[in-house]
Structure formats: C-alpha cells, structure tokens
Structure 1
Amino acid sequence: MDAVPHSPDDSRRRELGAFLRSRRERLSPADIGIASGARRRTPGLRREEVAMIAGVGTTWYTWLEQGRDVRPSVEVLTALCEALRLDAVEKRHLFILAGRQQPEQRTATSEKVDATLLHMLGSLVLQPAYVVGRRWDVLAWNPAAVALFGDYGLLEGDARNIVHLVFTSPHHRRLLVDWEALARVVLASFRAESAKYVGDPDFERLIALMMRSSPEFRDWWPRRDVARRLTGVKHVRHPTAGPMAFEHMSLSIDDGSDMRLIVYTPLPEQNTIAKLKKLLEEKPPERRSA
C-alpha cells in the first residue's frame, strides 16, 4: 500500500517538533538553575521542565514536539524562546516553522557597518552605493556615491539622512529629475518602513525637524500615504556631468538590524558609465563611513 504523502503543514510541524527537541536536549538542568538530582536517562531537559519554565501544559508541549496540529500563539512561542535560551537566528527559525510573524523589536539595534560590508562598498567602483540605518541615516558610502550625490562626510547628525537630504537640500532638489514625484514616493516608503518604530524618540525628533524644515513634508506627511521600497530606474541631472540614468536597488542586510545597502547601477543610456568614470577621475574621493 502506498504511503500517504505528507502535506507541507505536516512537514513543517514535524520539523518544528524536531527543532524544539534538539534545543531542549542541548540544555542541562544547571543551565536553568535546576538541580540535576539522580542520573537522567535522556540528554538535556525534560519536556515537563521546559513546559514549566514556559508556562504551558506538559501534555500540550509534548504534542508540539510530536508534530501534532497544535497552534502556538506568538506569546507562547516567545516564552519557549526564553525557556530554551534561543538566540536571534534560532528565534526567527522557530517563528517561521510555527507560521507566525515574529514581533518586531522597537528598540534600537547596533548600526555598526562591519569591515566586510565596507570592503564590498569599496569594490563597487562604478556603482554608487551607501548603507542606511533604520531611520535612513547614511552610515557608509563609496567614492562613486560621493561623485554622484556629494560628500556625506561633510554632513553631520540629521543632515546626513536621506529624507532630510531629499526634502531640504537644494543640491538634491536640482539633482533628482521629477523631484516632486520622487519625493512623494520617498516619503511614502519611509512611512511604511518606519511603522514598526511608531513612538520611537529618534523618529519623532526627525519628523518634528522635517515638519519645521520643509513645507512639502509638512503638507504630505499627514496624508499617511505608504509605498513599497524604492526600486527601478532613477534619472539624475548632475551639475557638471549632465543627465545620467541608474538602476536603483535596495538590499536588506541580514544581521538582525534594519540596515540596507542602496546600490545605483549605471545604465547605457545618457552615456552614464563614461560620465561616472570622468567624475571619479576628476577627484577620486576615499571610501567613508560614519
């Protein structure tokens, strides 16, 4: 008789149970402050010990490890993460297996650009690129970005922020073709991505500054428009090189932060590559980070 194929949900539940069991078995009673007592027949913690720490029933937790059709809530998954001492990567894996959305962390995470990412930035010789943080502050950039947009190293604090630059910098207003349409999309994308940080003092301070500094921001922000991340073709009008065209891409950096790598790839139209080469030859700037 042919075996009944398992559904994707069945497979995910079995994998969830196996993952929980593996995390339980790697812990010792001493890890959680429990006296080991008599010799144990199985490695790690007992199921009832994990259930007790997480505040759930032993039978229910046993079913979860067995891959039965039980649906743990976000709160229960969070408690299991704490009970099993999961790190950030393991927590994310557990929530994915359980089919739940992991709660967003509103607290500020480290936004230090590591050496590997800085090396990658420097290797993008003919691709203007920079790294932004959760609030869209520019954290690092390469020489091509300086040649195209200006030297971020001359800016400090809130002035080195993409939203602030787009709305208050005369240079960016002249540089960006069809500034109003682009600025509206920038603002809508910023609102969508910053929703997880509603009430964050750093965001509130930036928004208050923008409300004072830009009449367009002051007019458009209350409309609460939202949009996806900016991608696609972006046209610029450089003050010395003239019209240029780039393919714009935003890449998430998978390190637990909200940092992103923004890359502009020059297109053949408008003789963009040759123009960018000439800009870099005129004054080759150094790679910089904040």
Structure 2
Amino acid sequence: MSSGARPGELGAFLKARRAALSPATVGLPDSGGRRRVSGLRREEVANLAQISTDMYIRLEQGRSQASAPVLDALARVLHMDDEQRTHMYRLAGRISGRPVRRAAQKAHPRLLRILEDLNTSPAMILGRRMDILAWNPLAAALITDFSAISEKYRNYVVLLFTDPAMRALYVDWEGVARACVAQLCIEAARDPHDTRLSALVGQLSVQDHDFRTWWAARHVPVHGVGTQTLDHPVVGELTLGWDALTSTTSGEQQLVVWSAETGTPSHEKLLMLAS
C-alpha cells in the first residue's frame, strides 16, 4: 500500500461520486426499470473504466490499491474536475508527505496590509483548517466579535456548527456549512498528518449529526466565489457577494471579502455597520 494511502476514505469518496451520477450523464441508455441504487451501479463504473467489477468492488471496500492508470480512468468515468481528481489521488496515497512540525499560524503581513485598507467591505484572513487569523472591524460588526472568542475556538467551521447566532445569521446556513465541510475534506487529503484537523473533525462529528453526515459524503468544493444572504440582528437582511483570495506568498492563507454593489440596499446597510 502506498505511503499515506487511506483506502477506506478513497472507497467512500468513489461511492459518493458514483451515487451522484445518473446513467444518462455517462452516456448509458435508460433501461426504464426502477433502479435499486441511486446513481451508477458498481458494475457500470467498472465497465466504463475497463476494469473488472471485482477490482472496483475491492477499491470501494478499501481492500485494494489503485494504480495511476486506474485512477485516471475512474476520474474520467466519474466526471471528476481537477480538484476532485487531485483529492482522489491524495486519498490513494499518490501524493504523500512526512509529518512535519508546523509553526504557529500568523497572518501574512501583506494580507494584513490589504485587510487594514478595507474600510467598507467586511474581510478576514483564514489559515489552515479555516482558523480565523485576523479580521477587520466591519467583519466583527457583520459576523461576531471574534476578539471575545478564545483563540483555541476561533475557527470558522467550529463557530458555524456550535454558535446559535452564526446559525441564525446565514439564511442558507446549510449551504454555507456544507461548503466549509467540503473545504476541510480537501485540507485533510492535502495533509493527512494534521493532528489538530483530525481532532477538530472528531469533535464536530461527535457533536453534530449534520457535520458527521456531510463529512462522510466527501463532497469537494470547486468555487472560491459566491453570494450569501445574511439576516443581521441590527440592519436586517443583506445579500453580499464573497470572494476567497488565496495568497501567492502564503498558499495556506486566504483573504475572504464580502461586498455589495454600490447604491444597493445591502451596500447602504454595510455603510451603516461601518459607521
């Protein structure tokens, strides 16, 4: 077995991708009868990937190792994008690394300078595991007073699942929470030796049924932009665009910025919060 391989998680990921596809999506004819499983059958995936059904079953059950050509075939058959393909390779142990002692996270000075210049847009700097490293006053006014939270618990995903005020803030809380869980899945594949991430996942899996379910689904995010509607206790409902900008000087850190089009009610409400 390749160093760093996690066959059980690879099997769960393949199963989730198989369940997400319909026969029509991969060019198979509709038999017309009721299917006993959602998505594709195991034998259908195996046939399309030109491998034996037994081999594919053993992969899903975590009892076999996949070669690079087999992984390439599965990525094609299961319509994986670049992020999902990379994620699958990591779970198969094709990208591995030795455990390293990580330095304490600190916001990169260049990101901090940009953050300090943002006066009318809420923004924060997120590090590994979506730890909150820095924020501007407007982000605190929009989301929560991060300075009042112990640094140990100053994590965006932890707050989403454990703080009732955070649940109430996001109108589509489930969509936001699912995207954050998916981001953690990518980080876990990138660094399987991150003990703090393992502890965080274990903690939230015990505490929250939704987190446990979505973590097992192994969905992988593909976008770093989007729109969120927030129900703020002071200014009411705002619809904001958000962008997650990855630092080229510190690839593990992101500057997340919320904004609204000038002249819109949401922009006026941001200005009210800023004042």
Q: TM-score band (shorter)?
A: 0.5 to 0.7
CA distance in 2 between counterparts of 1:222 and 1:145 reads: 31
Amino acid at match of 1:143: P
CA distance in 1 between counterparts of 2:227 and 2:269 reads: 17
Q: 1:266 to 1:102 in 2, by over 3 A?
A: same
Q: 1:267 to 1:235 in 2, by over 3 A?
A: farther
1:142 equivalenced with 2:142 (yes/no): no
CA distance in 2 between counterparts of 1:105 and 1:277 reads: 48
CA RMSD, 1 decimal: 2.3
CA distance in 1 between counterparts of 2:198 and 2:243 reads: 27
Q: 1:247 to 1:105 in 2, by over 3 A?
A: farther
Q: 1:188 to 1:116 in 2, by over 3 A?
A: closer
The answer for the alignment partner of 2:189 in structure 1 is 195
Amino acid at match of 1:147: A
CA contact (8 A) 1:137 1:158 kept: no
**C-alpha displacement of 1:219:** 2.3
CA contact (8 A) 1:158 1:164 kept: no
Q: 1:104 to 1:246 in 2, by over 3 A?
A: farther
Q: 1:248 to 1:131 in 2, by over 3 A?
A: same
**C-alpha displacement of 1:196:** 0.7
Amino acid at match of 1:124: L
Q: 1:258 to 1:115 in 2, by over 3 A?
A: closer
The answer for the alignment partner of 2:249 in structure 1 is 255
**C-alpha displacement of 1:155:** 1.0
CA distance in 1 between counterparts of 2:104 and 2:241 reads: 29
**Alpha-carbon displacement from aligned partner over 1:85-119 (angstroms, at most 9, x marks no partner):** xxxxxxxxxxxxxxxx9977863355322444322
Match runs of 1:5-44 below 5 Å? none
Count of equivalent residues: 181
> SS of the counterpart of 2:128?
coil
**C-alpha displacement of 1:225:** 1.8
**Alpha-carbon displacement from aligned partner over 1:183-224 (angstroms, at most 9, x marks no partner):** 112211221233111131111111111112222112221222
The answer for the alignment partner of 2:270 in structure 1 is 276
The answer for the alignment partner of 1:208 in structure 2 is 202
The answer for unaligned runs of 5 or more in structure 1 is 1-100, 282-290
CA distance in 1 between counterparts of 2:264 and 2:161 reads: 26
CA distance in 2 between counterparts of 1:188 and 1:262 reads: 17
CA contact (8 A) 2:108 2:250 kept: no
The answer for unaligned runs of 5 or more in structure 2 is 1-93
The answer for the alignment partner of 2:230 in structure 1 is 236
CA distance in 1 between counterparts of 2:117 and 2:231 reads: 25
Identity of aligned residues (%): 31
